[in-house]
Each structure stands twice: as C-alpha cells, then as structure tokens.
C-alpha cells in the first residue's frame, strides 16, 4: 500500500498539540511538509520534529510538493481565504480545515461549491464526533429501553480547554485580520461544535426560538424533524473548568453526557443513564479511552490512504464534510438576524 504525503499549514498551539505530535508518528505517512509565516516558529518546529520540507509560503509548498492531504490549522480569521486558494489549486488533494472553516454562510456556501467544482474532498475538524464516548452514545442512544426522547438539554459553558501540562513551542501571536470578533462570530466559534454534534446525533435542526443577548450568550431552542426540542444554553468563559453537558430526557428516564475539555487527552467523556423508577444512575463504561483528536487524525489518514490506493472507500461518518455543515451557518445567521 502506497503511503501518503501531507502538508500542514499553521503550526500554532492547536496544530502542535492536537496534530503534529500524532502525525509525526503515523506509519501511513511518507512525508510531512510544514508551512508557517512565522519563520522563527517554522524553524523551531522543523528542528524539533526533524522535518526537512518547510515553507513560509503555502503557494510554494503546493507547487513543489505532491501532497495527498493538507491540514489547514491557521487562525479562524484567515482560514476561509486560504481554504479558497487551496481549493482553487489545480492539483488534486484532500483538504482538512479546523473549524469554523468560514466566517459567514455566504463564504461557507462558496467554499462548498468550489470544492465540488474542483472535485476535492473537504473535511472540517469537528473532533467531538470522534470521541469514544460520543461513539458509544450514538450506538446506545436507542437501546436502553428508555422510550421516546422528550427533549434534550445542552449546557455549553466553555471553560479552560487546554491542559497546562501540555508542552508546545510558544510563539508571538500576530493579528493581521481587521475583522472584528462580533458576538455572532464568537457564537459561531464555540457553538458550531454544539450544533454540529446535535445534528450528528439527532439529524437536521431548525430554529424554534432564540434568547441570545448582545454578548452572544443565552438560550436557543432548536427542533428536529421528529419535533424533538433541543435547548442549548451557552456562555463564553475561559477561566473556570470546562463545563459541557448534554442531558437527553426520555419517557422513562434520561441519559447524561459529560463532555471532557477538548485538549485534555486523558479525560474521557462520561455517559450514564437512569430510569425514573430507579434511584441510581448506571455508568456506561468505555472500552477504549482514546483522545478524540487522535481518532480524528487516524480516520483522515486512513481515508486518504485508501483513496490514494484506489481501494474501496470506507466512509467514516464521524468525519465531517464541509457540505454537511452548511446548516450550522444558516441557523447562526438566523439567531443573529
């Protein structure tokens, strides 16, 4: 089986903690090329990981290297324009962008159409779908004899998502974008995860009601095509511990999902359920405790390897294609209209 060549654009904190460390160990990768406009960081990373193909301009990297897969992990304010240039490129490769892959519905639509026109697979990094706890939940949700779902309560209060113990090469953050971080963009940045996860678990959502304040925090109610209501409460908060919990209420009981902070690789999402007739909850144990980012990287690499070798493509439903997350942009636009 032929191994793949990958390129990584953006070597910041997320790239180093959640991607580079694993990609440099993956046996299915033949070569890694890296790119960052911060020359000092580029130099340090190339030395740390012994990577000889390094570029300060992504255009040069695309021309010189024969890449099968590109990871785009730059600041969210620059991602959409870079994605456009990368998708437009004449060479054929798979693009994987961190979320959110665009800052507006209009741009998201444009990028999805461009990917289709250029026949490029375009994945977006919604790693929570690859969490082993979420996988287990998706599998068990209708098998616990709790009856029909009455409604779903989602508390997404953020918190500190990074583990202070994680080591990475520090760099000076350069803000080049003139775009203001509006409350809508802040909501998009954090709640695109929640909406994406709800749609992954329960199907397409429509907006029922929204009580979001000027800061972009509040309560939003969605419904799906079975008329189940989803109450999403959100707050922006970087200071306290991560707090993200979903409670699924059924006719005969409930399931509680305690989602772990994204960058704590050793913390697992916890799932328990209880029947109203019972005083105690039952914990559903995870057999494997693998980090969601690790699972996601593995899936993207496997998908790309299979495609390169013209083998029968296995579709990984956990991997999110840009075309399937356009509804998030539509819903958020409506909330802030």
Question: Which residues make up the interface to ligand NAD (CB under 6 A)?
Answer: 9-15, 35-38, 41, 58, 73-76, 78-79, 82, 98-99, 125, 127, 171, 173, 262
Smallest Cα–Cα separation from 286: which of 134, 143, 146? 134
CB neighbour list of residue 268: distance below 8 Å, 6 or more residues apart = 132, 133, 260, 286, 289
Query: Which residue lies nearest ligand NAD, judged by its C-beta?
Result: 12
- SS3 of 22, please? helix
As a whole number of angstroms, the distance between CA 79 and CA 155 comes to: 28
The least distance separating ligand NAD from the CB of residue 190, rounded to whole angstroms, comes to: 9
Q: How many residues does the chain have?
A: 337
Distance of closest approach, residue 33 Cβ to ligand NAD, in angstroms: 12
CA 170 remoteness from chain centre: 23
The secondary structure of 74-109 as a DSSP string is S-HHHHHHHHHHHHHSSS--EEEEESPS-SSHHHHH
Which residue, 15 or 220, is less far from ligand NAD as judged by CB? 15
Nearest-approach distance from CB 148 to ligand NAD, in angstroms: 32
For residue 102, what are the CA distances in angstroms to 105, 131, 200?
8, 24, 19
What is the nearest approach in angstroms of ligand NAD to the Cβ of residue 316?
17
Which one, 59 or 225, has the nearer CB to ligand NAD? 59
Collapse the DSSP code of 5 into the 3-class scheme (helix H, G, I; strand E, B; otherwise coil) and give the result: strand
Instruction: Pick the closer one to ligand NAD by CB: 40 or 66.
Output: 40
Q: Report the alpha-carbon distance of residue 260 to residue 240 in Å, rounded.
A: 13
The distance of closest approach from Cβ of residue 46 to ligand NAD in the complex, given in angstroms and rounded to an integer, is 13
Measured between its terminal Cα atoms, the distance across the chain in Å is 51
In the complex, what is the shortest distance from the CB of residue 304 to ligand NAD, in angstroms, rounded to a whole number?
Answer: 19
Rounded (10°) angle between helices 326-335 and 183-202: 130
**Which one, 171 or 249, has the nearer CB to ligand NAD?**
171
Minimum distance, C-beta of residue 97 to ligand NAD, in the bound complex (Å): 7
């Amino acid at each position: 089986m032929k191994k793949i060549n990958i390129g990584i654009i953006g070597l910041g904190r997320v790239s180093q903690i959640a991607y580079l460390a694993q990609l440099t160990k993956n046996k299915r990768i033949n070569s890694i090329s890296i790119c960052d406009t911060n020359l000092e960081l580029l130099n340090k990373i190339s030395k740390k990981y012994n990577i000889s193909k390094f570029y300060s301009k992504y255009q040069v990297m695309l021309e010189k290297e024969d890449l099968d897969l590109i990871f785009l992990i730059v600041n969210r304010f620059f991602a959409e324009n870079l994605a456009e240039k990368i998708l437009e490129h004449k060479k054929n490769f798979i693009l994987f962008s961190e979320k959110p892959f665009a800052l507006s519905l209009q741009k998201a639509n444009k990028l999805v159409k461009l990917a289709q026109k250029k026949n490029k697979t375009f994945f977006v990094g919604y790693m929570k779908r690859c969490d082993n706890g979420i996988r287990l939940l998706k599998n068990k949700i209708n098998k616990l004899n709790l009856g029909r779902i009455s409604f779903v309560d989602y508390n997404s209060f953020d918190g500190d998502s990074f583990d202070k113990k994680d080591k990475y090469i520090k760099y000076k953050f350069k803000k080049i974008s003139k775009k203001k971080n509006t409350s809508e963009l802040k909501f998009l940045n954090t709640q695109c995860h929640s909406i994406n996860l709800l749609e992954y678990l329960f199907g397409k959502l429509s907006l029922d009601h929204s009580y979001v304040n000027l800061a972009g925090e509040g309560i939003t109610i969605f419904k799906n095509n079975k008329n189940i209501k989803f109450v999403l409460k959100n707050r922006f908060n970087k200071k306290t511990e991560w707090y993200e919990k979903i409670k699924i209420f059924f006719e005969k009981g409930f399931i509680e999902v305690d989602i772990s902070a994204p960058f704590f690789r050793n913390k697992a999402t916890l799932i328990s359920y209880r029947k109203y007739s019972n005083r105690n909850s039952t914990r559903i144990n995870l057999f494997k405790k693998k980090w969601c980012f690790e699972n996601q990287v593995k899936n993207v690499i496997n998908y790309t390897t299979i495609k390169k070798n013209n083998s029968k493509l296995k579709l990984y439903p956990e991997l999110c294609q840009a075309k399937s997350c356009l509804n998030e942009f539509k819903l958020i636009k409506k909330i802030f209209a």
